[in-house]
Amino acid sequence: LSALETPMDAMIFSLHLASISSMLSAMNFLTTMLMNSPKGFSMYNLYLYLYCMLVTVFMLLTTLPVLAAGITMMLFDRHFNTSFFNVAGSGDPILFQHLF
């Protein structure tokens, strides 16, 4: 690796770590809320704030793997000379613009 690629790779790795951390915290919140609910608890008794948190947890758990996949595709393009985003190699540059 050259000196210019190393900081970029460290940044991409830190994005992976941040997404993993967010996913784990979302799962932790979800399991804590479900395991600590009293007997006879139903979703109708849930506060609006917790409904908002449930929506946030759902959004985090569904969108962060897509972002991680896009970052991984970018890493493969940089180091293994693939053509996920290159038009000349039948790639899709719109996908790159959509992900980032």
pTM: 0.55
For residue 3, what pLDDT is reported? 53
- Structural contact between residues 77 and 86, judged by C-beta atoms closer than 8 angstroms: yes
For residue 26, what pLDDT is reported? 82
Number of domains the chain contains: 1
For residue 100, what pLDDT is reported? 63
Tokens of 3: 């000196």
* Host domain of residue 81: 5-99
Average pLDDT per 10 consecutive residues for the chain, totaling 100 residues: 65 80 83 78 73 82 80 75 70 68
